[in-house]
Amino acid sequence: MMFWYGGGWAWWQAGLMWVVMIAFWVLLVWAIYALVAGVIRRGGEPEDGDARRILDERLARGEIDAEQYQRLREVLDGGRGHPAGSASRGGR
């Protein structure tokens, strides 16, 4: 309504409006990017039991033999702070 009577915004008010609008859209796009990147990054990380499960599957498919399985299982157990071979040797 004030534009009808010859009034208007000062140049700095219009400039400030543009700066705030651009900042809003930049922050919105950045937030969406951060959410999507976080979901993708989190989905690509292996869980704690994934390495053991993959090792078990490789043995079941015949890709590795029992000797390699035992050696790799000891490496996995040793990497997690368990004493090497304590749970994996069984009675050997």
Question: Do residue 59 and residue 34 come from a single domain?
Answer: no
Residue 3 lies in a domain: no
Residue 91 lies in a domain: no
Question: Do residue 38 and residue 61 come from a single domain?
Answer: no
The residue among 15 and 8 whose pLDDT is bigger is 15
Q: At 12, is the pLDDT very low, low, confident or very high (cuts 50, 70, 90)?
A: confident
Domains identified in the chain, total number: 2
Task: Output the 3-class SS for the chain.
Answer: CHHHHCCCCCHHHHHHHHHHHHHHHHHHHHHHHHHHHHHHHHHHCCCCCHHHHHHHHHHHHCCCCHHHHHHHHHHHHHHCCCCCCCCCCCCC
- pLDDT per residue over 65-91, tens digit each? 999 999 999 988 886 544 444 444 444
Range of the domain at 33: 10-44
- pLDDT per residue over 13-68, tens digit each? 889 999 999 999 999 999 999 999 988 887 665 666 788 888 899 999 999 999 99
Question: Do residue 54 and residue 40 come from a single domain?
Answer: no
Q: At 8, is the pLDDT very low, low, confident or very high (cuts 50, 70, 90)?
A: confident
